[in-house]
Amino acid sequence: MKFTLSWLHEHLDTAATVEDICATLNRIGLEVEDVEQRGKALEPFLTARIVEAMQHPNADRLRVCKVDAGPGFQDVQVVCGAPNARTGLAVIFAPPGTYVPGLDITIKAGKIRGEASGGMLCSLRELGLGEESNGIAELPEDTFPGQSYADFAGLDDTVIDIAITPNRGDALAVRGIARDLAAAGLGKLKPFLAETVEGTFPSPVSWKREWPEACPWVLGRTIRGVKNGPSPQWLRDRLESVGLRSISTLVDITNLFCLDLGRPLHVFDVARIKGDTLTVCRGGGESVRTLDGKDHIVTAEDCVIADGAGVQSIAGIMGGAETEVSAGTTDVFVECALFDPIRIALTGRRLGINSDARYRFERGVDQALPVAALEAATRMMIDLCGGEASDVVSAGAEPHWQRSARLRFARVAGLGGLDVPPKESIDILGHLGFEVGQQDAESVTVSVPSWRNDIAQPVVLDPSPTIAADRCMLLEDSVREIEPECDLIEEILRIKGLDQVPPVALPLRSTVPGVALTPGRTRLAKARRVLAARGLMETIGFSFIAHEDAARYGEAPESLRLLNPIAADLDQMRPTPLPSLVAAAQRNAARGWADVALFEIGAAFGEESQTTLAAGVRSGHTPRQPGGGGLPMTFMAAKADALDVLLSLGVSPEALSVTTDAPGYYHPGRSGVLRQGPKTVLANFGELHPSLLKEAGFDAPVVAFEVFLDRIPEPKRRKKTAPELSPFQPVRRDFAFVVAKDTPVGDVLRAARGAERNLIANVSLFDVYEGDKLPEGQKSVAVEVVLQPKGASLTDGEIEVACDKVVAAVAKATGATLRS
């Protein structure tokens, strides 16, 4: 919120300096973001007059001017190339040493084509004040030479920019800021008196209200016989000083009241209104072109103002171009209304329109101000544009905003931490506009002013299911009671000064601080280190992706679709991080870096739950080795990544089994699932489905894995002891079993491992063969079994017995026979 010091003085009678004002604003919660002294850079520029202008003897397009710029700069010779430089013209003069912001140069005295030049005559563009480029600036004839141009043009005003918290809609008005400063003891708030303008004829335009929930109250009146055109200089300067472009007198007046009183207004050209009624209603899929020249489609959830030809304004946000006022406008209809803040916010977000009106309506405007604001705007329009006003027409009525709040004096110190005397607390609330009612020694009851929508007001949701669903996102609860006493205490402390509240240390739960990382966080960090050590690079992606991409990697339920995505292709909560990783790998491949290994640890979303995954992809080939090139990535690399994460997090390899029922986005024959028991899926791994890779533009296999970190059980805490190392040599024996093709290899390994648990230290696969040397429908599974004796070296007989047990166990579990 920007305002100038002179603008503030119209509402606040104070002699405080800019420094005092800024310090007070910071102290009462209106944080100052910037203070701009607009005239400081222009102080060296002086008003001057060209006493004589002669043709340059050595240049056709230059003139030699004698300039009077006041004491110290009389009869200065300046060479000027402007076509409008002439005798008697009042101009802007820059003495030597002056920095010219529009040209980014510093003026120096010197010679131009042989003639001395002791300064520069400037245009407004060169001062950084406009787009004028047809010559030097021409000042009024009665301009007195030697004045600072900043003072002459009224550019010595200070501009203050403050940050506004969402609950302080009343501070989005210069008057609201002045009220707070007055309450803080920095002056006296001037009274605001709106002169009533009596209507002289019935308004030819009336209101009709079809959606009262969205618009509780709307007023308006016609002003006929106006003459619209450029605004007077004071109005243009006021708006331009805070960054608004002057458009025309009628539009500038509405913008002025939006900032001055926090009261958005809008004017319609009566000649462009079709029919005699403006209707506040729901949109119906129409396209409306707004004042910024953009087209928008309005829906039934958008409040609009329509005439007989269609939608003419997006209510409370921006007017339509069809009924825009222009230089030829003679009759205008002034709109002043109250709109539902939530609907304004939702419509503005959906349509992507940001305006000063929306910014104020969605934060809450003064609910009792419309009548006075309409009268004040009418008076200014008549004073500046002429014409006469009609009677006021309206629909609806002023909402019942009146409410009270009770303050117990002891609670200011008990809850707020600062002992403020009861009388001072009452005075502060009174200066802020709270009317004091019933009072006793312990408490006071006050009436809340109409402009403080954030004080003691319950928020109740609309019964409409769509609006209710959207509002729940904003408010979290269907009904939220705001504790009024806490709000009053906050106001007292804010005006008294939060810097005066003594600091109090938080109570210590124990003398020894707790652990910084939870076990879950520790496991995430360990998984991250393991994957990084395996050569994968970590990425961080969005938790939402395109709906179509989500459908390719599992379910994409409508319940997880975003109503207001930050981009059209980011509208679905992701079921797995793999789509983002595959897209990142594809972007690298497109730039000539096809061999990549990426991983991400993040959330994945299902219709009923959310889980944390460690997911990764490898694409391209393995690193090149001496004597040969790299090999294409296989699903075994992804299995190794997933298995390493699981083992590092305490999962026993004996507890794992591998099945072939990986999700459909994996290759059906080159993928698998790591399970703990028959039901708990800990990881998926394998090549991605060829159809996915083709759509993504890959011409080589891409392997991936997903480890479900939330499903990994916490390892049992055991007393750490040194490992038992046997002094005896282990014995290794190889077995080749012939089994049916559909027999899982894991079943063979598990059976062999359980044949002699006290003796068998490890069982590993080293070959799977399918070919013409075996019967049809059979395969050979070759495993290595490590026998580790502990008490004594194994005899040949003991080795034979152990080997027989392995063969018997595998045969019993899988029907295998020993390959001869």
Q: Nearest 5 degrees, angle CA 588-CA 591-CA 595?
A: 45
Q: What is the pLDDT of residue 626?
A: 76
Question: What value does the mean pLDDT of the chain take?
Answer: 90
Show Cβ contacts of residue 476 under 8 Å, excluding neighbours closer than 6 positions.
Answer: none
Token code pair at residue 341: 């803040």
Q: Residue holding tokens 């580790």?
A: 788
Task: Give the residue from 260, 412, 254 showing the smallest Cα distance to 333.
Answer: 254
Decide if pLDDT at 472 tops 80: no
- Tens-place pLDDT, residues 135-182: 999 999 889 999 999 888 877 789 999 999 988 999 999 999 999 999
Strand 778-787 and strand 760-769: the pairing is antiparallel
Could you please report the per-residue DSSP string of 679-721?
TEEEEEEEEEPHHHHHHHT-SS-EEEEEEEGGGSPPPPP----
CA 625, 627, 633, 636 torsion: positive or negative? negative
Helices marked H in 91-193: 149-152, 174-183
Q: Give the mean pLDDT of 325-340.
A: 96
Task: Give the residue from 675, 665, 646, 652 showing the smallest Cα distance to 704.
Answer: 665
Q: What is the pLDDT of residue 371?
A: 96
Collapse the DSSP code of 370 into the 3-class scheme (helix H, G, I; strand E, B; otherwise coil) and give the result. Answer: helix
Instruction: Tell me if 233 sits within 8 A of 239, measured CB to CB.
Output: no
Instruction: Provide the CA 733 distance to its chain's centre, in angstroms.
Output: 64
- As a whole number of angstroms, the distance between CA 355 and CA 341 comes to 14
Task: Give the residue from 759, 739, 742 showing the smallest Cα distance to 799.
Answer: 759
Q: Give the mean pLDDT of 364-392.
A: 96
- Tens-place pLDDT, residues 527-581: 999 999 999 999 999 999 999 999 999 888 889 999 888 888 899 999 999 999 9
Q: What confidence tier does 471 reach under pLDDT thresholds 50, 70, 90?
A: very low
Rounded to the nearest 10 degrees, the angle between the axes of helix 249-260 and helix 370-385 is 150
Task: Give the residue from 72, 25, 65 showing the smallest Cα distance to 46.
Answer: 72
* Cross-strand bridge partners of residue 467: none
Supply the pTM of this predicted model: 0.64
- Tens-place pLDDT, residues 665-690: 999 989 999 999 888 999 999 999 99
Q: Give the mean pLDDT of 236-244.
A: 88
Q: What is the pLDDT of residue 457?
A: 56
- Burial annotation 551-580 (CB, 10 A radius, 16+ → b, else e): ebbbebbeebeeeeeeeeebbbbbbbbbbb
The answer on whether 487 is annotated among ligand-binding residues is: yes
Collapse the DSSP code of 139 into the 3-class scheme (helix H, G, I; strand E, B; otherwise coil) and give the result. Answer: strand
Collapse the DSSP code of 783 into the 3-class scheme (helix H, G, I; strand E, B; otherwise coil) and give the result. Answer: strand
Query: How many CB atoms are closer than 10 A to CB 132?
Result: 14
Task: Give the residue from 245, 229, 230, 252 showing the smallest Cα distance to 329.
Answer: 229
Rg of the chain in Å (alpha carbons)? 40
Decide if pLDDT at 370 tops 50: yes
Instruction: Tell me if 670 sits within 8 A of 662, measured CB to CB.
Output: no
* Cross-strand bridge partners of residue 611: 604
Q: What confidence tier does 235 reach under pLDDT thresholds 50, 70, 90?
A: very high
Decide if pLDDT at 94 tops 70: yes
Q: What is the pLDDT of residue 420?
A: 93
Q: Which of 203-207, 477-481, 654-658, 787-791 has the lowest mean pLDDT?
A: 477-481
Task: Give the residue from 238, 189, 217 showing the smallest Cα distance to 373.
Answer: 217
Q: Nearest 5 degrees, angle CA 748-CA 749-CA 750?
A: 95
Task: Give the residue from 159, 39, 44, 36 showing the smallest Cα distance to 100.
Answer: 44
Q: What is the pLDDT of residue 787?
A: 93
Helices (H) and strands (E) counted in the chain, each on its own, are 20, 44
Q: Give the mean pLDDT of 188-200.
A: 93
- Tens-place pLDDT, residues 496-508: 988 889 998 888 8
Instruction: Tell me if 633 sits within 8 A of 703, measured CB to CB.
Output: yes
The answer on whether 491 is annotated among ligand-binding residues is: yes
Token code pair at residue 239: 């708006």
- As a whole number of angstroms, the distance between CA 713 and CA 184 comes to 59
Q: Give the mean pLDDT of 260-273.
A: 96
Q: Could you tell me what percent of the chain has a pLDDT over 70?
A: 95
Q: What is the pLDDT of residue 476?
A: 41
Q: Look at 456 and 239; give whichever has higher pLDDT.
A: 239
- Tens-place pLDDT, residues 406-424: 999 999 999 889 999 999 9
Instruction: Provide the CA 316 distance to its chain's centre, in angstroms.
Output: 22
* Whole-Å CA distances, 381 to 207, 229, 232, 278, 484: 21, 12, 12, 21, 40
Instruction: Tell me if 366 sits within 8 A of 170, measured CB to CB.
Output: yes
Task: Give the residue from 569, 584, 574 showing the smallest Cα distance to 553.
Answer: 574
- As a whole number of angstroms, the distance between CA 4 and CA 239 comes to 10
Q: Give the mean pLDDT of 125-130.
A: 81
Domains of the chain and any CATH numbers: 2-38+157-189 (3.30.56.10), 40-152 (2.40.50.140), 206-396 (3.50.40.10), 405-499 (3.30.56.10), 519-711 (3.30.930.10), 731-818 (3.30.70.380)
Q: What confidence tier does 237 reach under pLDDT thresholds 50, 70, 90?
A: confident
- As a whole number of angstroms, the distance between CA 439 and CA 317 comes to 42
Q: Look at 666 and 696; give whichever has higher pLDDT.
A: 666
Decide if pLDDT at 384 tops 80: yes
Q: Residue holding tokens 């994945």?
A: 604
Collapse the DSSP code of 184 into the 3-class scheme (helix H, G, I; strand E, B; otherwise coil) and give the result. Answer: coil
Burial class (CB in 10 A: 0-12, 13-18, 19+), 214: buried
Q: Could you tell me what percent of the chain has a pLDDT over 90?
A: 70
Q: What is the pLDDT of residue 599?
A: 97
Rounded to the nearest 10 degrees, the angle between the axes of helix 409-416 and helix 422-431 is 90
- Tens-place pLDDT, residues 586-633: 999 888 888 999 999 999 998 888 899 999 999 988 777 776 667 888
Tell me the residue type at 602: G
Q: What is the pLDDT of residue 130?
A: 66
Decide if pLDDT at 104 tops 50: yes
Helices marked H in 261-369: 341-351, 356-361
Token code pair at residue 77: 């010779």
Instruction: Tell me if 226 sits within 8 A of 250, measured CB to CB.
Output: yes
- Tens-place pLDDT, residues 739-750: 999 888 888 988
Q: Give the mean pLDDT of 350-357.
A: 94
